[in-house]
A and B are shown apart, each in its own frame.
Chain A
Amino acid sequence: MQHYGILIDTTLCIGCYACEEACANRWGFPQSDVHELSSTKNTTVLTVNDTYVPRMCMHCEVPTCASVCPVGALQKSKEGPVTYDVSKCIGCRYCMQACPFDVPKYQWNSTNPKVTKCDMCHDRIALGGKPACVEACPAEARVFGTLEELKKIAENRFAQNPSNYFPQIYGIKEAGGTSILYLASKPFAEIGLKGNLPDHPLPSLTWAVMSKIPNYVFWGGTLLGGIYWITNRRKEVREFEAKLEQMEHENPSRRISNHEQEN
Chain B
Amino acid sequence: MTLLKAHRISFWTIVFWIIMALGLTATVIRFTQGLGAATHLSDKFPWGFWIGFDVLCGVGLAAGGFVVAAAVYIFNLDYYKPILRPAVLTAFLGYVLVMVALFFDLGRPWQFWHPMVMWNPHSVMFEVFWCVMFYTTVLALEFSPLVFERFKLEKPQKVLHAIIVPLVILGVILSSLHQSSLGSLYLIVPEKVYPLWYSSNLPYLFFLTAIAVGPAMVTIESFLSSRAFKREIELPILAKLGKVTAVALSVYLVLKIEDIVNDNLWSYVFTFNLEGSLYWAEIILGAVVPIILLSYKKTSSNKKGLFYSALFVVLGFILNRMNLSVTSIEHYTGAHYFPSWMEISITLMIVAVGFAAFRMAVKYLPVFPEEKKSDEPLSKTFDVVEFIDGKHAQTAVLN
Please list the residues of chain A having a beta carbon within 8 angstroms of any beta carbon in chain B. Answer: 38-39, 64, 67-73, 88-94, 96-98, 100, 102, 105-113, 194, 196-198, 202-203, 205-207, 209-210, 213, 216-217, 220-221, 224-225, 227-228, 231-232, 234-235
For residue B308, which residues in chain A have a CB less than 8 angstroms away from its CB? none
For residue A225, which residues in chain B have a CB less than 8 angstroms away from its CB? 169
Bound together, the chains give a CA A92 to CA B112 distance in angstroms of 9
Bound together, the chains give a CA A224 to CA B174 distance in angstroms of 13
For residue A217, which residues in chain B have a CB less than 8 angstroms away from its CB? 173, 177
Name the CB-closest residue of B to A67. Answer: B122
Tell whether A221 pairs with B173 under 8 Å between CB atoms, given A89-B111, A108-B42. yes
Bound together, the chains give a CA A65 to CA B165 distance in angstroms of 39
- Kindly list the 5 A-B residue pairs having the minimum CB-CB distance in the complex, ordered from nearest: A91-B107, A108-B36, A231-B76, A96-B46, A70-B125
B124 interface hit (Cβ, 8 Å): yes
For residue B200, which residues in chain A have a CB less than 8 angstroms away from its CB? 205
Chain A CB count within 10 A is highest, among B111, B120, B123, B185, for B123
- Cβ proximity bits B166-183 to A, threshold 8 Å, 1 near / 0 not: 000110110011000100
Taking a contact as CB atoms under 8 Å apart, the answer to whether A90 and B108 are in contact is yes
Main DSSP-derived SS at the B contact region: helix
Taking a contact as CB atoms under 8 Å apart, the answer to whether A105 and B34 are in contact is no
Taking a contact as CB atoms under 8 Å apart, the answer to whether B191 and A196 are in contact is yes
Tell whether A92 pairs with B188 under 8 Å between CB atoms, given A108-B34, A111-B34, A210-B127. no
B106 interface hit (Cβ, 8 Å): yes
Taking a contact as CB atoms under 8 Å apart, the answer to whether B32 and A70 are in contact is no
Bound together, the chains give a CA A68 to CA B357 distance in angstroms of 34
Given contacts A70-B123, A205-B190, 17 further A-B contacts (CB under 8 A): A69-B120, A71-B120, A89-B108, A90-B106, A94-B185, A96-B43, A97-B189, A107-B34, A111-B34, A196-B191, A202-B188, A206-B124, A206-B187, A209-B124, A217-B177, A227-B75, A231-B77
> Could you show 21 A-B contacts with beta carbons less than 8 Å apart?
A68-B123, A69-B125, A71-B118, A71-B120, A73-B118, A89-B111, A90-B115, A92-B106, A98-B188, A102-B44, A108-B36, A111-B32, A112-B108, A113-B35, A210-B121, A210-B127, A213-B127, A217-B177, A231-B74, A231-B76, A235-B78
Taking a contact as CB atoms under 8 Å apart, the answer to whether B173 and A93 are in contact is no
Taking a contact as CB atoms under 8 Å apart, the answer to whether A234 and B76 are in contact is yes
For residue B112, which residues in chain A have a CB less than 8 angstroms away from its CB? 90
Q: State which residues 35-56 of B face A: CB under 8 Å.
A: 35-37, 41-44, 46-47
Taking a contact as CB atoms under 8 Å apart, the answer to whether A109 and B36 are in contact is yes
For residue B333, which residues in chain A have a CB less than 8 angstroms away from its CB? 102
Q: State which residues 57-111 of B face A: CB under 8 Å.
A: 70, 73-78, 105-109, 111
Name the CB-closest residue of A to B177. Answer: A213
Distance to closest chain A CB from B224 (angstroms):
31
Bound together, the chains give a CA A232 to CA B166 distance in angstroms of 13
Chain A CB count within 10 A is highest, among B31, B106, B173, B200, for B173
Bound together, the chains give a CA A179 to CA B108 distance in angstroms of 30
For residue A113, which residues in chain B have a CB less than 8 angstroms away from its CB? 34-35, 107-108
Tell whether A68 pairs with B34 under 8 Å between CB atoms, given A90-B111, A97-B47, A228-B73. no
Taking a contact as CB atoms under 8 Å apart, the answer to whether A67 and B74 are in contact is no
B245 interface hit (Cβ, 8 Å): no
Taking a contact as CB atoms under 8 Å apart, the answer to whether A70 and B129 are in contact is yes
- Cβ proximity bits B193-207 to A, threshold 8 Å, 1 near / 0 not: 000000010010000
Distance to closest chain A CB from B119 (angstroms):
7
Tell whether A94 pairs with B31 under 8 Å between CB atoms, given A216-B177, A228-B165, A234-B76. no
